[in-house]
């Protein structure tokens, strides 16, 4: 069937398909400009701190940094997924607190770490289901919904614990292993973060689930018209957030030796969001990588550790962190390079 | 041409060059636009037209070359500078603030105020006067909210914004692609008025008939380089096309006549109704192209959205190959074998921040995965195939879609659904913003699909396209199908008669 298109167009020419880019460009693309700037920032920071105090480079100090960032790192990784989807989860810190209390209380009454941890994880999943359903079926904006549950989960944690630290897990071998154990010389905490980060990274990069998450965050209408079940993804991502928050809560219990309704989990959500934004995850969704987030987590951890070993007032640490968040988002907006809204 | 046209040009660009990563978008382009004249800018998708306009608007800085206005060298480092010099560009997708009135949208940034108290009444009076001056009183309500405006009205707001300051050069980048014929008339009236007032007008469009209607001269670009400038009255379509593509294209596309298919239709729609469409009955057979014609606002896109379940449906049934299917969302439609490439590429189809490859493969991920892992090799192969076949102009398939030219972005949307190869494919304005050569490619691909037995529904506002491509034409008006024509009986007049059947109100076309 020949249409009378150009004598040549229809049949003759399958024009040479575009080539794959050369390797330097592919490498740049794979690593990303954002990540390169993070690596540079990290190197500068390490150089400055190391020059001031050589104790910074001790293996024990590096382990300290690693274990200190684990809880935030876990939450930042899962926050990345939620943000890629175009959402935000402010309730992760409160959910972690709730899970922390639950794990300790169940452990105290059953004397089984496994059951305590399991019930805590189920609690985490339940918080995620609740968030997801409110957002999807209540059609509530994600920020508002999780702001509400941020207060709600915290209230619940305080309610069941009477606002006090619960139980004592410091003698249970499972909890001790989680907090201070190691596998192949590397602390368990770091293993947990590395495994989660790697799994999420692979999921985002290589599976259709990951692609669909990016698609939804990039353009929800397009994603829906392409046959993606948006509701399922939203609920799924918030469940993942709840589950990981519960893991973080269990680790908090393990590290402090008791269930903590608020102390220890307060402010974690902000640190997680800061790390994700600093790592290049777009606030409007659809853009960002786990690599970037992890680099940002490490950067923030090094900053905090450095300021501590240099004896800087801890209030300055908060200021530095807030400053970094603003700078990160400003850079992000610049790089988007869109026409400013509102004209002219 | 006005008398001063022979003198210094209003706007002169010399040796403009602009390079983006991997692409030389402009190569030493010369351009002169004269006051009191409409100059059309023509070229294939990706030829550099929008880039040139963005340089004039101060949105991009050229790598080299100069700009001058009325003989005076200028250099814009921001759109503000360009505005001050009296240069305005009307982009295809204007930024409208949704929650404020038309009047405030027009005067945004320049609200008339006494001290810091801005007076709503004064503002409104001024906008009413502006509307009357340009003859838009019936087309635009100054109190309407930004969110209520049709694409045409949004564009009018953008134009009026430009006219609040004195303009010396105004450029339109494909302004008519989402306008109805009556709206195009309104726009042309305005352009002529501006021209008569001595403004230099630059007009970009892929529609040849418009170029011949409105322009005095035509400047043609190819691959970022200037091919030449000709006087419109002294040229014809074939010559312009040859300048654009560098070879001959044999006339219009004609689809081979084929016998009317029999048996079970691939898609049957019975009594479909929702808020926008009423009691629709349609049948499309495998191997057939059904064209859906109608004026803007006739409910054609709404029908497509209703069929794939992206808007709620109140009544009706849908059968694929004779089997009833339950569709409660686009996902169900795709599973039932119905694909839909929507009209608004940016809002409804593209992931602007993702690569060409990601965009093309989006609807086939479920087919090219093994245990949820996407087979990257196969994905790349599919993306390569369709970028080649549709001649998508991009340095490589990893390029982000936002950096492609408008027409090439459109081809990416099509590629996504061609790759899916559904049983029934609904294409809403598939050639919007696409150049003449690429249109022919797209028609050829549609032909190939039907030869393979796929049923295709094409919605288009361009009558020649509908008439050339369709085996049958359904005409819609006011959310209803007002008639169906076989291609042997279809003429422009008959289609238009059905499109306006019973439509006595004059503004029926402006929704
Ligand atoms: N921001 C950008 N980054 C990279 N390349 C770009 C960018 N903007 C434009 N290009 C490239 O420059 C070339 C010219 O694009 P331009 O948008 O000017 O084309 P056009 O003539 O307007 O085409 P169309 O008719 O499709 O609108 C294209 O190859 C395009 O991919
Ligand atoms: Mg363009």
Q: What is the pLDDT of residues A284-320, one digit of tens each?
A: 889 899 999 999 999 889 888 888 888 888 788 778 8
Radius of gyration for chain B, computed over Cα atoms and rounded to the nearest angstrom: 24
From B30-39, B107-116, B460-469, the region with the lowest mean pLDDT: B107-116
In B430-469, the residues whose Cβ lies within 8 Å of chain A are: 437, 440-441, 443-444, 447-448, 451
- Which of B405, B406, B409, B436 gets mutated to test ligand 1 (max ligand atoms within 8 A of its CB)? B405
B349–A21 CB contact, under 8 Å? no
Which range has the worst mean pLDDT, A97-111, A250-264, B278-292, B471-485? A250-264
Structural domain ending residue among the three candidates B379, B394, B421:
B421
Contact flag A218-B352 (C-beta cutoff 8 Å): yes
A291 CB-near residues (< 8 Å, 6+ apart): A31, A32, A35, A201, A279
Which chain B residue is nearest to residue A335, measuring alpha carbons? Answer: B353
| pLDDT score of A22 | 65
- Asked if the C-beta of A286 comes within 8 angstroms of chain B's C-beta atoms, the answer is yes
Question: How high is the pLDDT of residue B156?
Answer: 84
- Residues, chain A: 344
Question: Looking at the structure, do residues B413 and B450 belong to the same domain, yes or no?
Answer: no
Out of A327-341, B259-273, B301-315, B446-460, which region has the weakest mean confidence (pLDDT)? A327-341
DSSP 8-state assignment for residue A20: P
Nearest ligand 1 atom to the CA of B407 is 26
Is A3 within 8 Å of B108 when comparing Cβ atoms?
Answer: no
Nearest by Cα to B272 from B209, B229, B320, B314: B314
Q: How far apart are CA B296 and CA A123, in angstroms?
A: 53
Of B399, B421, B443, which closes a domain?
B421
Identify the nearest ligand to the CA of B407 by its number: 1
> CA separation (Å) from B126 to B112, B160, B189, B256?
9, 12, 21, 56
Rounded Cα–Cα distance for residues B63 and B16 (Å): 7
Phi, psi dihedrals of residue A131, rounded to the nearest 5°: -55, -50
Q: How far apart are CA A93 and CA A253, in angstroms?
A: 13
Q: Is B330 in Cβ contact with A225 (below 8 Å)?
A: yes
Give the pLDDT band of residue A40 (cuts 50, 70, 90): confident
Evaluate if residue B510 carries a pLDDT over 50. Answer: no
Closest CA to B507 of B225, B278, B180, B267: B180
Q: Which of A1, A20, A344 is nearest residue B256 as measured by Cβ atoms?
A: A1
Q: In Å, how far are A23, B293, B470 from B466, measured between CA atoms? A: 45, 7, 6
Angle in degrees, CA B426, B431, B435, rounded to 5 = 160
Answer yes or no: is B232 within a domain: yes
**What is the arithmetic mean of pLDDT over B447-471?**
90
Least confident of A186-195, A225-234, A258-267: A258-267
Q: B361 and B241 in one domain?
A: no
- Residue whose entry in the numeric block shows the structure tokens 């008006």: B477
Q: Cβ contact (<8 Å) for B444 and A343?
A: no
Q: Quick check: B266 pLDDT over 90? A: yes
Query: Which atom of ligand 1 sits closest to the CA of residue B60?
Result: 1
Question: Are B40 and B65 members of one domain?
Answer: yes
The pLDDT mean for chain A works out to 85
Ligand 2 is an ion; its neighbours by CB within 5 Å are B 50, 405-406
The enclosing domain of B476 has a CATH number of 3.40.50.300
Helices (H), B139-196: 151-163, 181-196
Structural domain includes residue B24: yes
Reduced to 3 states (helix: H, G, I; strand: E, B; else coil), residue B456 is strand
**Ligand 1 neighbourhood includes B431 CB (under 6 angstroms):** no
Which domain covers residue B477, as residue numbers?
264-337+422-511
Classify the C-alpha dihedral A55-A70-A266-A83 as positive or negative.
positive
Q: Into how many domains does chain B fold? A: 3
How far, in Å, CA of A233 to CA of A226, rounded? 14
How far is A256 from B213, CA to CA, in rounded Å?
Answer: 79
pLDDT in tens, A137-183: 998 999 999 999 999 999 999 999 888 888 888 888 888 898 888 89
Measured between CA atoms, the residue of chain B closest to residue A202 is: B373
Write the CB contacts of B133 (distance below 8 Å, at least 6 apart in sequence): none
B contacts of A228 (beta carbons < 8 Å): 331
Across the interface, of B161, B253, B333, the residue whose CB is closest to A3 is B253
- Both structure tokens of A299: 């950067």
Using a 6 Å cutoff on CB, does residue B48 contact ligand 1? yes
pLDDT higher at A136 or B120? A136
Ligand 1: residue of B17, B27, B31, B50 to mutate (most ligand atoms within 8 A of CB) is: B50
Lowest mean pLDDT among A187-196, B65-74, B112-121, B475-484: B112-121
CA distances to B16, B140, B185, B285 from B135, in Å: 37, 10, 12, 47
Nearest CA distance, A108 vs chain B (angstrom): 41
The answer to whether A69 touches A298, Cβ cutoff 8 Å, is yes
Which H or E run includes B201? strand B200-204
Ligand minimally distant from the alpha carbon of residue A338: 1
Q: Do A221 and B329 touch (CB under 8 A)?
A: no
pLDDT over 70 for what percent of chain A?
87
Q: Is B160's C-beta closer than 6 angstroms to any atom of ligand 1?
A: no
% of residues, chain B, pLDDT over 90: 52
Task: Indicate yes or no: CB of B444 within 8 angstroms of CB of A206.
Answer: no
* Same domain? B58 vs B27: yes
How confident is residue B506, by pLDDT bands cut at 50, 70 and 90?
very low
Distance of CA B346 from the midpoint of ligand 1 (Å): 15
d(CA B23, CA B27): 11
Q: Which residue of A has its CA nearest to B444?
A: A10
Which residues on A lie below 8 Å from B444 (Cβ)?
Answer: 3, 5, 9-10
Residues of A within 8 A of B395 (CB-CB) are 18, 21
- Check the CA dihedral B19-B20-B23-B29 and report its sign: negative
Residue A8 phi, psi dihedral angles, 5° rounding = -105, -25
Give chain A positions within 8 Å (CB) of B252.
4
Cβ(B80)–Cβ(B162) under 8 Å?
no
Closest approach of chain A CAs to the CA of B138, in angstroms?
Answer: 26
Residue B441 · residue B448 · CB < 8 Å? no
B27 assigned to some structural domain: yes
Question: B206 and B300: one domain?
Answer: no
Give whole-number Cα distances, A1 to A4, A258, B448, B451, B452, in Å.
Answer: 10, 77, 8, 8, 11
- For residues B91 and B198, membership in a common domain is answered with yes
Task: Report CA(B354)–ligand 1 centroid distance (Å).
Answer: 16
Q: What chain A residue is nearest to B442 in terms of C-alpha separation?
A: A10
d(CA B172, CA B49): 11
Give the 3-state secondary structure of residue B166. coil
- Hey, are the CB atoms on B351 and A214 less than 8 Å from each other? yes
Q: Are residues B85 and B103 in the same domain?
A: yes
Task: Report, as an integer, the average pLDDT of A192-218.
Answer: 95
Q: What is the pLDDT of residue B331?
A: 94
Q: Which of B82, B223, B437, B444 to mutate to test the interface with A (most CBs of A within 10 A)?
A: B444
Residue with the two structure tokens 């859906």 = B292
Least confident of A103-112, A227-236, A311-320: A311-320
List the structure tokens of A51: 């020059």
Q: Do B414 and B430 share a domain, yes or no?
A: no
Select from B238, B353, B450 the residue whose CB has the most chain A CBs within 10 Å, as the one to mutate to test that interface. Answer: B353
pLDDT of residue B4: 47
Same domain (yes/no): B329, B356? no
| Best CA proximity match to B378, nearest among B394, B365, B396 | B365
Average pLDDT of every residue of chain B:
87
Distance CA B235, CA B243 (A): 11
Question: How much is the pLDDT for B163?
Answer: 84
pLDDT interval class at A6 (50, 70, 90): very low
pLDDT digits (tens, 9 = 90+) for B383-441: 999 999 888 999 889 999 999 988 899 999 999 999 999 999 999 999 988 888 888 88
Instruction: Say which of A8, A212, A225 has its CB closest to residue B342.
Output: A225
**Are both B61 and B207 inside the same structural domain?**
yes
Q: Do B362 and A3 touch (CB under 8 A)?
A: no
Residue B443 lies in a domain: yes
Residues B312 and B446 in one domain: yes
Q: For residues B299 and B290, give the distance between their C-alpha atoms in angstroms, rounded to a whole number.
A: 16
Among residues B390, B421, B452, which one ends one of the domains?
B421
Tokens 């279809």 sit on residue: B490
This model's pTM is above 0.90: no
The token duo for A140 is 């509530």
Q: Cβ–Cβ of B363/A9 closer than 8 Å? A: no
The mean per-residue pLDDT over the stretch A81-106 comes to 94
Percent of chain B with pLDDT over 70: 93
CB pairs A-B closer than 8 Å: 163
Predicted pLDDT of residue A2: 35
Note whether A342 contacts B: Cβ–Cβ < 8 A. Answer: yes
A8 and B385 within 8 Å at the Cβ level: the answer is no
How far does residue B91's CA lie from ligand 1's centre (Å)? 14
H or E element: which one contains B350? none
Do B321 and B448 lie in one domain? The reply is yes
- A173-180 and A230-256 helices cross at what angle (nearest 10)? 100
**Cα(B367)–Cα(A123) distance, integer angstroms:** 36
Q: Does A139 touch chain B (CB under 8 A)?
A: no
* pLDDT digit string, tens, across residues B231-245: 999 999 889 988 988
A212/B253 Cβ within 8 A: no
What is the ipTM metric for this complex? 0.84
Nearest CA to B329 among A227, A137, A221? A227
B144: in domain: yes
Residue B101 lies in a domain: yes
Q: Are B113 and B119 in contact (CB under 8 A)?
A: yes
Least confident of A216-230, B33-47, B252-266, B486-500: B252-266
- B122-171 pLDDT, tens digit per residue, is 888 888 888 888 877 777 888 888 888 877 788 888 888 888 888 899 99
Distance CA A179, CA A187 (A): 8
In this prediction, residue A153 carries a pLDDT of: 95
Question: Hey, is B462 helix, strand or coil?
Answer: coil
pLDDT tens profile B340-396: 999 888 889 999 989 999 999 999 999 999 989 999 999 999 999 999 988 899 988
For ligand 2, the distance from its centroid to the CA atom of residue B16, given in whole angstroms, is 17
Query: Which residues from A are below 8 Å from B253, CB to CB?
Result: 3-5
Looking at the CA of B91, which ligand is closest?
2
For residue range A254-270, what is the model confidence (pLDDT) as tens digits?
Answer: 998 888 888 777 888 98
């Amino acid at each position: 069937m020949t249409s009378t298109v150009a004598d040549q167009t229809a049949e003759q020419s399958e024009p040479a398909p575009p080539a794959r880019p050369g390797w330097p460009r592919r490498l740049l693309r794979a690593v990303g400009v954002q990540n390169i700037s993070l690596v540079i920032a990290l190197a500068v920071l390490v150089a400055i701190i190391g020059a001031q105090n050589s104790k910074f480079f001790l293996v024990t100090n590096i382990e300290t940094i690693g274990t200190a960032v684990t809880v935030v790192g876990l939450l930042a990784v899962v926050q990345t997924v939620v943000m890629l989807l175009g959402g935000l989860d402010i309730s992760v810190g409160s959910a972690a607190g709730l899970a922390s209390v639950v794990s300790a209380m169940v452990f105290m009454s059953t004397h089984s770490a496994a059951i305590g941890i399991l019930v805590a994880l189920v609690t985490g999943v339940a918080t995620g289901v609740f968030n997801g359903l409110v957002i999807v079926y209540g059609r509530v904006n994600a920020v508002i919904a999780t702001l509400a549950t941020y207060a709600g989960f915290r209230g619940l944690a305080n309610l069941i614990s009477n606002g006090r630290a619960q139980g004592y897990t410091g003698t249970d071998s499972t909890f001790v292993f989680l907090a201070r154990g190691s596998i192949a010389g590397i602390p368990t905490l770091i293993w947990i973060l590395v495994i989660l980060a790697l799994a999420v990274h692979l999921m985002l990069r290589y599976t259709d689930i990951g692609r669909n998450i990016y698609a939804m965050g990039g353009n929800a209408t397009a994603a829906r018209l392409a046959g993606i079940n948006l509701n399922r993804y939203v609920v799924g991502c918030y469940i993942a957030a709840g589950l990981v928050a519960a893991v973080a809560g269990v680790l908090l219990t393990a590290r402090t030796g008791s269930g903590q309704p608020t102390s220890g989990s307060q402010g974690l959500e902000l640190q997680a969001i800061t790390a994700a934004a600093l790592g290049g995850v777009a606030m409007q969704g659809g853009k960002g990588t786990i690599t970037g987030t992890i680099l940002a987590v490490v950067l923030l951890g090094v900053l905090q550790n450095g300021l501590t070993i240099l004896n800087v007032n801890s209030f300055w640490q908060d200021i530095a962190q807030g400053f970094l968040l603003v700078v990160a988002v400003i850079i992000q907006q610049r790089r988007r390079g869109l026409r400013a809204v509102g004209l002219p | 041409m006005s008398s001063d046209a022979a003198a210094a040009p209003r706007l002169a660009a010399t040796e403009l060059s602009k390079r983006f990563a991997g692409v030389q978008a402009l190569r030493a382009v010369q351009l002169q636009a004269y006051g009191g004249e409409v100059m059309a800018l023509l070229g294939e998708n990706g030829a550099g037209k929008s880039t040139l306009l963005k340089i004039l608007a101060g949105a991009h800085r050229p790598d080299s070359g100069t700009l001058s206005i009325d003989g005076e060298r200028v250099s814009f480092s921001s759109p503000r500078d360009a505005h001050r010099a009296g240069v305005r560009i009307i982009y295809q997708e204007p930024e409208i603030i949704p929650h404020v009135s038309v009047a405030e949208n027009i005067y945004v940034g320049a609200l008339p105020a006494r001290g810091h108290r801005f007076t709503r009444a004064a503002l409104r009076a001024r906008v009413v006067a502006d509307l009357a001056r340009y003859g838009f009183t019936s087309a635009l309500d100054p109190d309407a909210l930004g969110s209520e405006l049709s694409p045409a009205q949004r564009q009018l707001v953008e134009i009026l914004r430009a006219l609040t300051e004195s303009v010396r050069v105004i450029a339109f980048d494909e302004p008519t692609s989402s306008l109805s014929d009556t709206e195009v008339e309104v726009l042309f009236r305005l352009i002529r008025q501006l021209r008569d007032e001595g403004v230099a007008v630059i007009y970009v469009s892929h529609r040849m008939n418009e170029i011949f209607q409105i322009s005095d001269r035509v400047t043609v670009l190819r691959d970022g380089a200037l091919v030449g400038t000709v006087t419109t009255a002294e040229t014809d379509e074939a010559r312009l096309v040859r300048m654009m593509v560098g070879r001959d294209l044999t006339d219009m596309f004609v689809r081979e006549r084929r016998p009317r298919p029999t048996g079970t239709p691939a898609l049957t729609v019975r009594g479909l109704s929702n808020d926008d469409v009423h009691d629709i009955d349609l049948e499309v057979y495998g191997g057939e192209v059904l064209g859906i014609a109608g004026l803007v606002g006739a409910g054609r896109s709404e029908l497509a959205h209703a069929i794939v379940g992206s808007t709620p449906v109140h009544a009706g049934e849908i059968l694929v190959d004779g089997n009833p299917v339950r569709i409660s969302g686009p996902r169900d439609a795709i599973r039932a074998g119905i694909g839909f490439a929507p009209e608004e590429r940016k809002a409804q189809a593209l992931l602007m921040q993702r690569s060409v490859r990601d965009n093309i493969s989006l609807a086939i991920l479920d087919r090219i995965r093994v245990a949820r892992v996407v087979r990257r090799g196969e994905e790349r192969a599919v993306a390569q195939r369709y970028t080649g076949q549709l001649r998508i102009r991009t340095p490589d398939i990893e390029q982000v879609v936002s950096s492609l030219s408008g027409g090439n972005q459109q081809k990416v949307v099509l590629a996504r659904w061609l790759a899916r190869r559904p049983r029934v494919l609904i294409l809403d304005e598939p050639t919007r913003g696409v150049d003449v050569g690429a249109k022919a490619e797209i028609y050829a691909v549609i032909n190939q699909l039907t030869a393979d037995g796929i049923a295709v529904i094409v919605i288009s506002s361009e009558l020649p396209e509908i008439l050339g491509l369709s085996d049958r034409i359904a005409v819609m008006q006011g959310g209803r199908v007002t008639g169906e024509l076989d291609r042997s009986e279809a003429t422009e007049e008959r289609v238009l008669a059905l499109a306006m059947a019973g439509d006595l109100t004059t503004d029926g076309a402006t929704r």
